[in-house]
Amino acid sequence: MKFLEYTPLDSLNDFLSRVNFGERTIKGCLEAYSCKHTGTDKKLSLSLEYEILDYLGKSSDTDSSSPTDYLLCRSSRKTLIYLVLTLYHMYPDYDFSLVRAHQFFTEESWDSFKQIFETYMFEASKEWVETNGGNSLLEALYKALDEVVKLSECEIYSYNPDCDMDPFLEKGSIWSFNFFFYNRKLKSVVSFRFCCVSNLVADGFLVDDVCYNDDGEIFDDMDM
């Protein structure tokens, strides 16, 4: 896997580097990678292949939550290996084999991604239009992704690990999403992670031993 620099992603990354709304900040990052093996990728890919095959061997046929049918296809396993290798290159100090990362990928559609994006990035989208004018943030994102990986040919995946197994999760995180746009023909993938972080927690204004309810009561007075 090799990191690729693309100008269409630069303006979006500049904007999404830090959109501050006072008590919270929305951040995002787009990264493009070639799926050609470099360095230790071949060794890692073999290790991941064995890991997935071992998982298939241990999975119960009665386990309805097990994605065994999908993983039985070699091309599907190869896709998941590329996605996990992308994670390795994004976070080289994190061992994704320990968390069986392949279990946390879900295939998505553009419509499902769009719904999540428009819901959670609503305020950032308003800020984008006020700052840049013209097209909406989603339209700018679509155009950039299409230039880099041709969206019509892409498979879209979300990565949703458990909280304690998520290297993307930042201190004070309110919500976060991780998507991957994979073009099998071009052998390239674009990762897109975006999140909302409480500035109160991140800046240390709230002590660490404060209890937070799962329903996020502390953020009830914020516009979401």
- Compute CA distances 63 → 56, 66, 162, whole Å: 11, 6, 19
| Average pLDDT along the chain | 80
Q: What is the CATH number of the domain that holds 162?
A: 3.40.1000.50
Q: Give residue 108's domain range.
A: 2-200
Classify residue 122: in a domain, yes or no: yes
Phi first, then psi, for residue 27 (nearest 5°) are -130, 155
Among 212, 119, 126, 210, smallest CA distance to 174 is for 212
Span 66-90, mean pLDDT?
73
Which pLDDT band, with edges at 50, 70 and 90, does 70 fall under?
low
| Minimum mean pLDDT range among 12-21, 53-62, 91-100 | 53-62
For the segment 96-154, what is each residue's pLDDT rounded down to a tens digit?
Answer: 765 566 667 888 999 999 999 999 999 999 999 999 888 899 999 999 999 999 999 99
Residue 176 covered by a domain: yes
Q: What is the pLDDT of residue 84?
A: 85
Segment (H or E) for 46: helix 41-58
Using one digit for the tens of pLDDT, what is the confidence trace for 156-180? 999 887 766 666 677 788 999 999 9
Q: How far apart are CA 4 and CA 68, in angstroms?
A: 32
Q: Does some domain include residue 208?
A: no
* Cα separation, 219 vs 97, whole angstroms: 34
Residue 196 lies in a domain: yes
The answer to whether residue 222 is domain-embedded is no
Please give the torsion angle defined by the CA atoms of residues 2, 4, 170 and 192, in that order, rounded to the nearest 10 degrees.
-110
pTM of the predicted structure, to 2 decimals: 0.79
> What is the number of domains present in the chain?
1
Q: What is the model's pLDDT at position 93?
A: 80
Structural domain includes residue 220: no
Question: What is the token pair recorded at 221?
Answer: 């007075």
